[in-house]
């Protein structure tokens, strides 16, 4: 998908652990698991859940501490999985 084709962020909500639910302008909801992101030194300080939950977002990024650490909507889209994929993998 080209950068110009990636939908913008409409909403972000906390799910559990280091996972967020991101809703995009095309109506798609995707799960972003940030667990592996904390291997990057710049992100390590945001690993404690009390800090992780204090995120901000706008249409083009997700950020912490007044954009001290941020992730672009294109990266979020590419790092996340569709919400329906997660539901399809659950065993009843």
Flag whether 89 is in a domain.
no
Domain that holds residue 20: 3-84
Domain of 14: which CATH number? 3.30.2020.10
Flag whether 91 is in a domain.
no
Q: What is the pLDDT of residue 89?
A: 54
Helix, strand, coil percentages (3-state) for the chain, rounded to 5, are 35, 35, 30
Q: What is the pLDDT of residue 2?
A: 79
Flag whether 92 is in a domain.
no
State if pTM tops 0.85: yes
Rounded CA separation 85/40 (Å): 27
Q: What is the pLDDT of residue 14?
A: 98
Flag whether 33 is in a domain.
yes
In the chain, how many domains are there?
1
Flag whether 12 is in a domain.
yes
> pLDDT for 60-92, tens place per residue?
999 999 889 999 999 999 999 999 865 555 554
In this prediction, residues 40-67 reach a mean pLDDT of 94
Flag whether 22 is in a domain.
yes
- Which of 11, 19, 3 is CA-nearest to residue 72? 3
| Comparison of pLDDT for 3 and 6, the residue scoring more | 6
Flag whether 90 is in a domain.
no
């Amino acid at each position: 998908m080209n950068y110009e084709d990636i939908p913008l962020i409409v909403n972000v909500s906390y799910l559990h652990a280091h996972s967020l639910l991101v809703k995009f302008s095309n109506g798609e909801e995707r799960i972003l698991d940030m667990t592996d992101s904390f291997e990057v030194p710049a992100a390590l300080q945001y690993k404690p859940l009390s800090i992780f939950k204090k995120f901000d977002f706008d249409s083009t990024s997700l950020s912490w501490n007044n954009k001290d650490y941020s992730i672009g909507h294109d990266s979020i889209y590419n790092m996340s999985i569709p919400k329906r994929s997660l539901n399809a993998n659950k065993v009843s």
